[in-house]
A = this chain, B = another copy of it.
Amino acid sequence: MHVKARVERALRRHLNGRDKPYDLGEAMRYALFPGGARVRPSFALGVAMACGDDRPTVTDAVGAAVEFLHCASLVHDDLPCFDDAHERRGKPSVHARFGEATALLVGDGLIMLAFQTIADAAPAAGDRLGPILRIVSDSAGMPRGLVSGQAMESEEACMIPAYHAAKTGALFEAAAAGGAIAAGGDVEIWREVGAKLGEAYQIADDIHDRAGTNGALGKPTGQDERFGRPNSVDEHGLQGAVRVLKRLIAETVEAVPDNAEAASLRALIGAQTERFVPKDLVTAAA
């Protein structure tokens, strides 16, 4: 089965029967489907497959949990008290469509669902459960996960590397290390691959925000300037940022250990990050 299809199936399986009461369930499905590129769970599955994927239900649960946390952060990020974004993935954002109270609960419910999903995998996970829960919960929480990253956005003296590591890197690390743990692989090697990909992805996202086509990837551009948020293009310039991105992708691909599944994982890494960058920029920076 294709990785993306496997991700969608896992998301539906773990949501199944939980999308209640009805109105909240509808809003939760709306927040999840159709999804974006599913970069994080695809990456988690790719890593697990590169490690043998001997417990596929555990792999699926890690991928789904990471995606649920990511989607939760998007729903809460879009709320009026943050970005006040009315569109997401080419349709009205969750609060624009269902109201703020429901959007708040959708985000909360998706966070809970991430951990219910890990609990679903507990019987198959055996002694891998504790390490999976450790990395996934830390990647979303404080002091160095997603929630801390969102808080750093509004700080006066925001340190860009720490901010990017928390806001984006941590969940990529969890996808990689979680995928590795699910399949009994080497956590530290894969955590490093995840950290590098997260860094690359954040720079790709920064470039898209400054130079991409508004709405082209299902999200508006120019948001960082609008909210005065740190963007690495300010530091490196546009061409410089593209060069940094290409270097990071090369390093990520390099960090993937050689084995039977490495080629497809490397292709996935390249494809997922480069689609963020306008083609003329890629050529110009070559």
Question: A83's closest neighbor in chain B, by CB?
Answer: B101
Q: How far is the CA of A103 from the CA of B36 in the complex (A)?
A: 28
Q: How far is the CA of A199 from the CA of B220 in the complex (A)?
A: 47
Q: How far is the CA of A76 from the CA of B111 in the complex (A)?
A: 14
Interface: A19 (CB within 8 A): yes
Q: Return the CB mask of A90-122 against B: 1 if under 8 Å, else 0.
A: 000000000111101101110111011011001
Question: A131's closest neighbor in chain B, by CB?
Answer: B122
Cβ A145 vs Cβ B82 within 8 A: no
Given contacts A104-B82, A115-B133, A119-B137, contact A17 B147 (CB under 8 A): no
The quantity of this chain's copies bound in the complex is 2
The interface residues of chain B lying within 8 Å CB-to-CB of A123 are 130
Cβ B119 vs Cβ A138 within 8 A: yes
The interface residues of chain B lying within 8 Å CB-to-CB of A81 are 99-101, 104
The interface residues of chain B lying within 8 Å CB-to-CB of A122 are 129-131, 133-134
Cβ B141 vs Cβ A18 within 8 A: yes
Cβ A24 vs Cβ B151 within 8 A: yes
How far is the CB of A182 from the nearest CB of chain B, in Å?
15
Q: How far is the CA of A108 from the CA of B113 in the complex (A)?
A: 13
Cβ A151 vs Cβ B112 within 8 A: no
Interface: A215 (CB within 8 A): no
Interface residue ranges of A1-38 to B (CB < 8 Å)? 17-21, 23-25, 28
Interface: A213 (CB within 8 A): no
Cβ A137 vs Cβ B112 within 8 A: yes
Q: Which of the four size classes fits the interface of chain A?
A: 35 or more
Q: Return the CB mask of A124-142 against B: 1 if under 8 Å, else 0.
A: 0100011101101110111
Cβ A79 vs Cβ B102 within 8 A: no
The interface residues of chain B lying within 8 Å CB-to-CB of A131 are 122
Given contacts A18-B142, A142-B25, A147-B108, contact A115 B100 (CB under 8 A): no
Cβ A115 vs Cβ B130 within 8 A: no
Contact partner of A105 (CB less than 8 A), chosen from B20, B24, B151, is B151
Contact partner of A107 (CB less than 8 A), chosen from B99, B101, B108, B116, is B108
Interface: A214 (CB within 8 A): no
Q: How far is the CA of A81 from the CA of B147 in the complex (A)?
A: 21
Cβ A134 vs Cβ B147 within 8 A: no
Cβ B142 vs Cβ A101 within 8 A: no
Interface residue ranges of A135-165 to B (CB < 8 Å)? 136-138, 140-143, 145-148, 150-152, 154-155
Cβ B147 vs Cβ A24 within 8 A: yes
- The list of the 4 closest CB pairs from A to B, nearest first, reads A122-B130, A112-B141, A20-B143, A81-B100
